[in-house]
Structure 1
Amino acid sequence: MRIPLASVAATVMVLSGIGVTPALAATVSTEDTMFLKAAHQGNLAEIAAGEDAQKHATTECVEEVGRVLVRDHTKLDSDVKMLASKLHVTLPNSPTAEQQKQLAAVQAKAGTPAYDAAWLKTQEAAHTATLALIDRELSVGRNAEVKAAARSARPVVAMHLDMVRGGVCHAGKNAGKVHAGTGGQLATDDNSLALAGVVTLAGGGLLATCGALWFLRNRRRSADLP
């Protein structure tokens, strides 16, 4: 009995995985979207707070921490905006009403030692909340790129928290050059590896298919010989 080569080829292709479109990028979940929006608003709030500290703090330590916040959250937010644009997520235009209210309360103490104390306490609470937000995304998020951005941001936010922990200024905790805003690049690298694996699998399947066709064709020729 002769088996149609087309049927054999189709069977081998299915077994080898050829023709199956892999889901290289997971769908953006509600959690992913919420994380991007909250992270963006958090970054905007931290940048505003950092800029304000550089103007109104009474100690060099708080001024320095403010400078670090502006530097790092600007980089982190650049990454968030890039991902949001790529994933078609619309971001808010400003910090939350509560974040704005908190900054206004701190600004009311501008130029006094009470400002520095209030600023540090507010930043401790803000960065504690941001770490919880990041950990939730890493736990329940679906999109690989968004999770990579969260993973990249975590050590930066943790460092900021160390600088204001206990409502006490620790500018010496500044790690200097921080790898902030690399989540998208990390995700790109991960996707490149995944794509390479798919290509390799497809290539292996193609070789298997060609080998099967060659074997069956030769068997047919041998059977047709007198």
Structure 2
Amino acid sequence: MRFTHTCATAAAVAALALSGAAPAFAAASPAANPDAAFLQAIHQSNLAEIAAGKDAHAHAKSTCVKQVGDVLVRDHTTLDAKGATLAKSKSITLPKEPNADQQKSLSALKPKNGTTAYDTAWLKVQSTGHQQALTLIDKELKSGKDAQIQAAAKAARPVVAAHLKMVEGGVCHAPMPSGTPSATPQR
């Protein structure tokens, strides 16, 4: 997914907590198994979100964006680990890195490192991505066939929705100590 699709996938991955530790497993055909395709897409999203969060921590100008980045790293790492365990139990091979579009989206931020323009662009990418992730999760919840994968998506949904609230509309809402967004927007 692009960063927006990455967020969607990351959100879904976050929901599924995929870790990417499944390279030795048999590959599942995405066309033949939409549930497997969901796990794979969510895993790539999680990987992209983890990378984006680390990048924000290192290159954002505002404390709020750095804090949101830290929450993304924490939550998507947890979701990805759970997702990877689930994928392994189902012999689903997971990609080892974010897709090319996701990597390109993160690279596009580099020239803005350390500026308010970086923060604004990062927040917009995260907002769109988390909206897309929720769409991906909702599709799995509506039409998925595997009860365990659907349960993972259901568990991930509130995490992704909370992330969206932190970045919605390209405005930063600092997370509270509990990890929920504050009502006070920041840039």
TM-score under structure 1 normalisation?
A: 0.64
For 2:133 and 2:177, the matched residues in 1 are separated by 18
Tell me, yes or no, if structure 1 residue 91 matches structure 2 residue 94: yes
Indicate conservation of the 8 Å contact 1:43/1:77, yes or no.
Answer: yes
Residues 68 and 175 in structure 2, CA contact (< 8 A), matched pair in contact too: no
2:153 is equivalent to residue 150 of structure 1:
yes
Q: Distance in 1 between matches of 2:165 and 2:136?
A: 17
Q: Secondary structure at the match of 2:172?
A: coil
- 1:160 & 1:58 partners in 2: Cα distance? 19
Q: Which runs of 4+ in 1 moved over 3 A?
A: 172-175
Is 1:46 equivalent to 2:46 in the alignment?
A: no
The separation in 1 between residues aligned to 2:175 and 2:54, in whole angstroms, is 19
Gaps of 5+ in 2: 1-29, 181-187
- Indicate the SS of the match to 1:129: helix
- Residue 139 of structure 1 is matched in structure 2 by 142
| Structure holding more strand per residue | 2
Count of aligned positions: 150
Say yes or no: does 1:71 pair with 2:39.
no
Letter in 2 for 1:34: A
Report how far residue 106 of structure 1 moved. Answer: 1.3
Contact 2:61 2:114 in 1 (8 A): yes
Residue 104 in structure 1 maps to residue 107 in structure 2: yes
Q: CA deviation at 1:111?
A: 1.0
Q: Which amino acid aligns with 1:161?
A: L
| Contact 1:51/1:70 (<8 A) preserved | yes
Q: Which has the higher contact order (CA 8 A, sep 6+)?
A: 2
Equivalents in 2 of 1:122, 1:139: separation in Å?
26
Contact 1:53 / 1:62 at 8 angstroms: preserved in 2? yes
CA distance in 2 between counterparts of 1:36 and 1:146 reads 8
Q: Which amino acid aligns with 2:59?
A: H
* RMSD of aligned Cα (Å): 1.6
| SS of residue in 2 equivalent to 1:170 | strand
Identity of aligned residues (%): 55
8 A Cα contact 1:46 1:69, kept in partner: yes
TM-score normalised by length of structure 2: 0.77
The separation in 2 between residues aligned to 1:114 and 1:70, in whole angstroms, is: 21
In 2, the alpha carbon distance for the partners of 1:140 and 1:81 equals 21
- Larger relative helix fraction: 1
